[in-house]
Amino acid sequence: MLGGCSVFSQSSLNQFLKPSDTLHKKRRTTVFASEVGVLGGTLIGLNQLWYKDYPKSHFHFINDNEEWLQMDKVGHMYSSYHLGRIGAEALAWSGASEKQQILYGATLGLGFLTVVEMFDGFSQEWGASSGDMLANFSGTALYVSQQLLWKEQRITPKFSFHRTHYASLRPKTLGDGLQEEILKDYNGQTYWLSFNINSFVKTKCIPNWLNVAIGYGGEGMLYGTNLEAIKNNYTQITSRQLYLSLDVNLTKIETKSPFFKTIFSVFNTIKIPAPTLQIVGFDGFKTHLVYF
């Protein structure tokens, strides 16, 4: 009996997750209502937890483009891309047209992060950043341009993280504990552009799910800039990191299960640990058997 219930439950879940072939108005309404509820609630919570205790000001811009070796800007691009991708895929699930997916789905990340940037702009503590806004637009443009050009995502931004000793030296800024460090410690973050080989080469010799990825990271950052570090009586030596690695495009793994397709789509935001070649400035190369 329990086995029968389990099969029925899994079948019902797969039926629910299966994208509609035609426009399903109730599903589309559910998508829009869910986005308004989740993102609206997130903005309200962000305002209460992050901005509430800081004085307001007139709307203003700041120039933070030299900070953190631009790791924060790459993070904005990554976030905008994947929020837009989720928005577009949610509308595809409802059977909405490709035009609606692009207009109302793919722009989700850009819209949400623009509101966050406005919060920054009205806060005396921070300020809106033209660099952030450009990065947000770049993430949305990366998704939309691929859909218009290829009708598929051949190049996917991805993320990986490893813990560093820098966070323990300045935990309030770089994070106290793993969860905070993943978000705040730029020294341990790596952002990737993962290219699906067969989408470009079209060969039977290479599995459809195999990707090659180019990564970017930074190291040596306790403060946003070297000048800020000096003002705090600290001398930091920062360096940019470039990587070349293999990766897996989980969405290219063949399955008929809508459940597994959804799971693969969610986790396709993360770079799979793999052998990696690191470019070390003018000193040559460094190899990693497995790099996170």
Identify the pLDDT of residue 7: 47
Sign for the CA dihedral angle at 19, 85, 268, 209 comes to positive
Q: What is the pLDDT of residues 149-197, one digit of tens each?
A: 999 999 999 999 999 999 999 999 999 999 999 999 999 999 999 999 9
pTM: 0.93
Identify the pLDDT of residue 8: 45
Distances from the Cα of 251 to the Cα of 159, 164, 207, 257, 269, angstroms: 16, 31, 13, 12, 11
Cα(31)–Cα(128) distance, integer angstroms: 29
Instruction: Work out the angle between the directed axes of helices 25-46 and 71-93 (0-180°, nearest 10).
Output: 150
Query: Residues of the chain whose pLDDT is less than 70?
Result: 1-10, 281-283
Q: What is the chain's length?
A: 292
Distances from the Cα of 51 to the Cα of 37, 54, 63, 115, 273, angstroms: 20, 6, 20, 13, 36
| DSSP labels, 69-90 | GGHHHHHHHHHHHHHHHHHHHH
Half-sphere exposure of 237 (CA within 13 A, CB side): 0
**Pair 78, 139: CB distance under 8 Å:** yes
Residues 6+ apart with CB under 8 A from 247: 158, 192, 194, 210, 211, 212, 213, 271, 272, 274
Identify the pLDDT of residue 46: 83
Residue recorded with tokens 């406005």: 118
Identify the pLDDT of residue 281: 67
Identify the pLDDT of residue 280: 77
Helix, strand or coil, per DSSP, at residue 95: coil
Cα(60)–Cα(240) distance, integer angstroms: 30
